[in-house]
Structure 1
Amino acid sequence: MPSDTKERIQAVARELFMRQGVQNTSLRQISDRLGITKPALYYHFSSREDLVRSIVQPMVEDVERFVATRGQGEAGKLLEDYFDLVWQHREVIVMVMQDMSTLAYLDLGQRMFDWRRRLITLLLGPELTQAQHIRATVALGGMSDCTVEYAHLPPEEVKPAAVEAAAAALGLQTAM
C-alpha cells in the first residue's frame, strides 16, 4: 500500500534526521535502511527537502491553527494546551534543532518567531514591556525545551512542572 510505504519512509527519515541531522542523511541511507530502491523512494518524495517538508508540515499546520484559533483569556489553559501541542511534535522539534539549516530551507525561522509573538500577545496582551517579552520568551522556549530534554519521561511527569515554571516566569498562577 503506497501510504504505508510513505509512512515507513517518513518514520525512518525522521529517526535518521534526528540522529544524524538532515544535511548528513542521504536518500540512499533512507532507502537502504528500508530495503527499497532509491527510485522507489523518489516515487513518494521528489527530494530530501520534499521529504523533510512532509515530516514538518503537520507541526506547522497544527501550530498555525493553534495560534489562529485562540483568543485572549485563560493563560494557564493556553500554557497547558501549548505544552500538549509541542509535546505531540517533539520529534520534529528535535529534528529541526539538530540541523538548524532546516529552518532556512523550509522558511520556518520567521514563522516560528511570528507564532511566538502571537502566543505572547494571547498570554499577556498587546501592550508589553521589554521585560514581559523576555519573560514570555523564556516561558515558551523553556516549555519547548522541556519536551525535548525530557522526552524520555511520561508527559504527566513533565507537563505540571513545565507549565508551572512557565507560569512563574510570566508572573501567573496556575491550577496545576
Structure 2
Amino acid sequence: MVKPSDTRTRIQAVARELFLEQGVQNTSLKQISDRLGITKPALYYHFDSRDDLVRSIIQPLMDDLEAFVAGREPGDVRRLLEDYFDLIWRHREVIVAVLHTPAVLVELNLMDRMWEWRKRLTTLLLGPTPTTVAQIHATVALGGMSDCVVEHAILPFEEVKAAAVEAALTVLAI
C-alpha cells in the first residue's frame, strides 16, 4: 500500500517534470493527475490548490536560501560562493522552472523574500555599505552563477562550479 507521503512526493516529482517540459503556467492539475493515473480529487487530498502544489516545490529552495544567508557571517568570499553554487546546483530544476515562469514568484507572494535573501547575500559578499558599482558586480556575479547552473547542468558539476566561482570572483574583483 502506498503511503500518503509517497503519493505527495510522486505528485511533486511529476509536477516538476511537467513544469520543466511546458512551464508552470501551462501545467494543469488534470495533466498532473492524468500522468500519475490518479483522480484530481486524489491530488486535492494532498494539495489544497495548484498554488499549494507549486509552493511546495519552490519552498525548499526558498528555505535553503534563507537558511544559507541567515547562518553566515562575512568572511571567506570564495567559500561563500562555492557553498552558494552547491545550493543552487541542488535546486537547479526548480530554478529552471521559475526562470521559465518568473511571474509564479509574484503570484505566490515570494518575490519579496527572494529580493531579501539576495540583499543579505550581497551584504555578506560586500559588507554593509557597498558602492553602486560593487552592487552591480555582485548582481552580475550571482546572476551569472545561477545562469551557469541552468545552462551548463549537463556538464560535470566540479567543472561548472570551478569556472562559475572563478568568474564570480573575477567580476567581484576579488
TM-score class, shorter: over 0.9
1:79 is aligned to 81
Return the match for 2:108 from 106, 109, 112: 106
Return the match for 2:47 from 45, 48, 53: 45
1: distance between equivalents of 2:169 and 2:70?
22
1: distance between equivalents of 2:30 and 2:122?
42
Unaligned 5+ segments in structure 2 are: none
2: distance between equivalents of 1:28 and 1:93?
23
Return the match for 1:6 from 8, 27, 36: 8
2:142 is aligned to 140
TM-fit CA distance, 1:21: 1.3
Instruction: Output the TM-score relative to the length of structure 2.
Output: 0.96
Percent identity (aligned): 67
2: distance between equivalents of 1:54 and 1:113?
19
The one-letter code of the counterpart of 1:88 is R
2: distance between equivalents of 1:39 and 1:134?
48
Q: Cα deviation per residue 1:84-119 (whole Å; 9 max; x = unaligned)?
A: 011011111111111112111122222212111111
Q: Secondary structure at the match of 2:153?
A: coil
TM-fit CA distance, 1:52: 0.4
2: distance between equivalents of 1:125 and 1:158?
27
1:163 is aligned to 165
1: distance between equivalents of 2:6 and 2:82?
33
2: distance between equivalents of 1:127 and 1:39?
52
1: distance between equivalents of 2:110 and 2:160?
26
The one-letter code of the counterpart of 2:149 is T
2: distance between equivalents of 1:137 and 1:23?
27
What root-mean-square deviation, in Å, do the aligned CA atoms of Structure 1 and Structure 2 show?
0.8
2: distance between equivalents of 1:11 and 1:151?
18
The one-letter code of the counterpart of 1:40 is A
2: distance between equivalents of 1:71 and 1:59?
20
Unaligned 5+ segments in structure 1 are: none
The one-letter code of the counterpart of 2:8 is K
Q: Are 1:17 and 2:12 an aligned pair?
A: no
The one-letter code of the counterpart of 2:168 is A
Instruction: Output the TM-score relative to the length of structure 1.
Output: 0.95
2: distance between equivalents of 1:93 and 1:76?
22
The one-letter code of the counterpart of 2:117 is W
2:36 is aligned to 34
